[in-house]
Amino acid sequence: MTDHVRILLVEDDEDDYFLTADSLSQCKSPMFELVWAQTGEEAIEHLQTDTFDLCLLDYLLGQENAMDVLEKLKGLSVTIPVVVLTGQADSIVDDRVMRAGAEDFLTKAEVDTPRFMRTIRYALVRREIETERLERHRIEQQNKAKDKFLAHLGHELRTPLASILGYTELLLDSPGNERINAELSTIFNNSKHLLSLLNDLLDMSRIMANKLELVPQPLNLNGFLTDLYSLMVMQASEKGLVLTVSANSLIPEYIKVDPTRLRQILINLVNNAIKFTDTGEVAINVEFDKGNGRVCFAVKDTGIGMPADKLETIFKPFEQIEDLIHANHGGAGLGLAISNELVSRMGGQINVESTQGEGSRFWFCIKAEGSTEQNLIRLDLDAPERPPAQFKINQHLDGRVLIVDDLREIRRLTGRLVSMSQAQVTFAQNGADALEKIRSAEHNGQPFHLVLMDIHMPVMNGIDCLKAMRSSGIQTPVVAVTAASRKGLRESLLAEGFDNVIAKPIDRKDLSEVLSTFLLPATQPSDPKETGTAEQKSSLLIVEDDEDAAELMCLLLNSIGYEADIALNGQQALEKVANAPSHYAHVLMDLHLPDTDGYELTTAIAEIAPSLTVTIISGAEPDKARLEGLPIAQVLLKPVSKADLAVLNFCG
């Protein structure tokens, strides 16, 4: 109870007013501030426009009584506690005012007794308890609404990402697709990264609600760092930065850690380093601290750095680095706060040192559970983590293509794309190198059919190289490849003599059109016919309202030996099961359907086919209480991979 209490006394008898005021003045704690109203109307006006902790209301007020005032207060939604005072005890009146909403009922003869003060104290305490209860309820409802919204948002965004990840994985694993493994892996890894960005908001919500859990599991550290490099190297190359990964010691082959969260931390640190570095390099370093059983990671850049007095601020939620250093790079301001919390839960702490104009270094150490001196290896980024996949080439072209770019990763990426057409690829790292190779090819009678030329390069740029070619009488088609996007650039480059212009990052369709224009078609080899009889497959039912997601799930299941039917809503699912109760071995069900939810549909299916089990596939964590008693075999969160499905036994 507060030390200062404001009371509205509604009393039309002056003597009774002074009697009540005198009784209240004798109380030393709390201190009472008394405001006097002599009519019901005056009381209601006070209660609507001012703030009071308690109202003492005389039962008889001239032509009206306390019942009239209580009814008006109820209609106005005024919830202040009211204690009714009357000249004499009356059980009927007592019951009426209590039913009308009064907190208590006293006779005026009790005003100068201990019961009067106890009644006031109890009313105030009950008021505080009720206020706290209502506030807790309000917060709980807000949290429920927020959780429901975030779950819905997560579901809606995970569904299209599931299609991207799933179809890419199918291409990676399909036989006859080995030439574009690196490109498909880049799509796959970047889609997973996009999914992790989506999870940032959900993660911060879980952190603030203390609901975030880590899931430690064995992690191949070398493969993990190789994946991280592959994911981030193109982003660095597009800014002209060098990205390196090194180790100061032998590293554990495996550590037990939450790989998703560790990847999230390092991606955030590397992404920030690239974002705030215009020239130079970003270096990732890992070291095994045998003495303390820890693995330490550091990310260092040669970027713009930060003021020393701002270094602590950047780890606060919604604080953006660019706000501190007057840059404009976007971002939600959650990444470092989430990373800091994740490292803390892994038993470490993120540290930072930075000098404005020189760069920054972030580092942290985590417990290396599962590592021993016997499983230490050298870091090797060239060690493949998964066998190369093949790509089924649709376009077959014949010719020799020279790719000119000063960035090795861009040359390699462009070369892989061009190689998909079966054209022969040669590389040059600047204009002078290109000019030498072009003249040599002309001299040897094997001229290039096409040159893909970067514009901004050291030693000799693309425009000067083109002018030198033309002045030498070499008319090989040259296509400009540029990351610049200023207005009129394309027209300017065409005016310089380039045969076409394509933008970086290279769009596959644009490149395909350029290659088709300047190279000759080649005979497409026949695909070998598949032989053998398909094994008997078990029938599954997919219940999913998103057609793309349903088709993808069907393809994934087909690829691991299952036949599957699709139902796009609950009604279709019930009809399929009812028409053939013993046909399906299992149901894979989305929780969010247009005509029902997965819980109710599972119950309905169980009534038709009691032996049929269900796997829930959802974009958000299901309600565990509602799952109880249902024939649920397992729960999978979207996106669902082929590997996730392969380990499940749908028929057991």
Q: What's the CATH code of the domain at 473?
A: 3.40.50.2300
3-state secondary structure of 278: coil
Residue 261 included in any domain: yes
Task: Please check whether residues 469 and 497 belong to one and the same domain.
Answer: yes
pLDDT of res. 459:
92
pLDDT of res. 390:
33
Choose the weakest-confidence range: 449-453, 525-529, 627-631: 525-529
pLDDT at 641 over 50: yes
Residue 330: which residues within 8 A CB-CB, separation 6 or more? 322
**Strand ranges (E), 408-530:** 424-428, 450-454, 478-482, 500-503, 520-521
pLDDT at 135 over 50: yes
Residue 541: which residues within 8 A CB-CB, separation 6 or more? 564, 565, 566, 567, 573, 576, 577, 584, 586, 587, 588
Task: Please check whether residues 93 and 235 belong to one and the same domain.
Answer: no
Residue 557 included in any domain: yes
| Single residue among 63, 82, 112 that ends a domain in this structure | 112
d(CA 612, CA 586): 6
Beta-ladder partners of 454: 481
186, containing H or E segment: helix 181-208
**Under a CB-based contact definition with an 8 Å cutoff, are residues 220 and 253 in contact?**
yes
Q: In this structure, what token pair is assigned to residue 624?
A: 């565990």
- Among 68-77, 82-91, 368-377, 565-574, the range with the most confident prediction by mean pLDDT is 565-574
- Among 112-121, 176-185, 327-336, 575-584, the range with the most confident prediction by mean pLDDT is 575-584
Residue 621: which residues within 8 A CB-CB, separation 6 or more? 151, 637
Residue 26: which residues within 8 A CB-CB, separation 6 or more? none
pLDDT of res. 523:
53
Task: Please check whether residues 504 and 596 belong to one and the same domain.
Answer: no
pLDDT at 392 over 60: no
Residue 262 included in any domain: yes
Task: Please check whether residues 233 and 328 belong to one and the same domain.
Answer: yes
Higher pLDDT among residues 610 and 236, named by residue = 236
Residue 271: which residues within 8 A CB-CB, separation 6 or more? 232, 235, 335
How many domains does one find in the chain? 4
Average pLDDT of the chain is 81
**Under a CB-based contact definition with an 8 Å cutoff, are residues 385 and 226 in contact?**
yes
- Among 74-78, 377-381, 637-641, the range with the most confident prediction by mean pLDDT is 377-381
Choose the weakest-confidence range: 307-311, 450-454, 491-495: 307-311
**Under a CB-based contact definition with an 8 Å cutoff, are residues 601 and 627 in contact?**
no
Could you read off the pLDDT of 232-271 as tens digits, one per residue?
888 898 888 999 999 989 999 999 999 988 998 999 999 9
Residue 390 included in any domain: no
pLDDT of res. 311:
79
pLDDT of res. 389:
34
pLDDT of res. 409:
65
Could you read off the pLDDT of 478-501 as tens digits, one per residue?
999 986 555 577 888 999 999 999
pLDDT of res. 521:
79
pLDDT of res. 651:
56
d(CA 49, CA 40): 14
* Residue 456 DSSP symbol: S
| Single residue among 96, 112, 128 that ends a domain in this structure | 112
Task: Please check whether residues 82 and 44 belong to one and the same domain.
Answer: yes
Residue 584 included in any domain: yes
* Residue 346 DSSP symbol: T
**Under a CB-based contact definition with an 8 Å cutoff, are residues 391 and 184 in contact?**
yes
pLDDT at 84 over 50: yes
168, containing H or E segment: helix 114-173
Residue 395: pLDDT band (50, 70, 90) is low
pLDDT of res. 404:
94
Higher pLDDT among residues 225 and 527, named by residue = 225
pLDDT at 430 over 60: yes
Task: Please check whether residues 514 and 581 belong to one and the same domain.
Answer: no
Query: How large is the greatest C-alpha to C-alpha distance in the chain, in angstroms?
Result: 123
Mean of pLDDT values over 153-181: 74
Q: Structural domain of residue 243, as residue ranges?
A: 213-377
Q: What angle do helix axes 408-419 and 181-208 make, rounded to 10 degrees?
A: 120
CA torsion sign for 112, 113, 115, 120 is: positive
Higher pLDDT among residues 540 and 213, named by residue = 540
Task: Please check whether residues 372 and 229 belong to one and the same domain.
Answer: yes
pLDDT of res. 326:
41
* Percentage, residues of the chain above pLDDT 90: 26
Task: Please check whether residues 362 and 496 belong to one and the same domain.
Answer: no
Residue 309 included in any domain: yes
Task: Please check whether residues 439 and 373 belong to one and the same domain.
Answer: no
Residue 533: pLDDT band (50, 70, 90) is very low
Choose the weakest-confidence range: 11-25, 128-142, 341-355, 478-492: 478-492
pLDDT of res. 386:
41
Residue 626 included in any domain: yes
pLDDT of res. 2:
64
* Percentage, residues of the chain above pLDDT 70: 86
d(CA 534, CA 536): 6
Give the ranges where 472-611 is alpha helix by DSSP (H). Answer: 489-496, 508-518, 547-559, 570-579, 598-608
Domain CATH for 272:
3.30.565.10
Location of structure tokens 């706000």: 323
Task: Please check whether residues 499 and 434 belong to one and the same domain.
Answer: yes
Nearest CA to 476 out of 429, 520, 436, 438 is that of 438
Burial class (CB in 10 A: 0-12, 13-18, 19+), 211: exposed
Residue 44: pLDDT band (50, 70, 90) is confident
Q: In this structure, what token pair is assigned to residue 108?
A: 């005026």
d(CA 473, CA 455): 21
Residues in the chain: 652
| Single residue among 112, 145, 166 that ends a domain in this structure | 112
Mean of pLDDT values over 202-225: 80
pLDDT at 328 over 70: no
Give the ranges where 50-113 is alpha helix by DSSP (H). Answer: 66-75, 91-99
User: Other CB atoms closer than 10 Å to residue 14's CB: what's the count?
Assistant: 10
Nearest CA to 11 out of 77, 52, 69 is that of 69
Higher pLDDT among residues 296 and 123, named by residue = 296
Task: Please check whether residues 514 and 542 belong to one and the same domain.
Answer: no
pLDDT at 156 over 80: no
Residue 68 included in any domain: yes
Residue 331: pLDDT band (50, 70, 90) is very low
Mean of pLDDT values over 443-454: 93
Task: Please check whether residues 239 and 365 belong to one and the same domain.
Answer: yes
End-to-end CA distance of the chain: 62
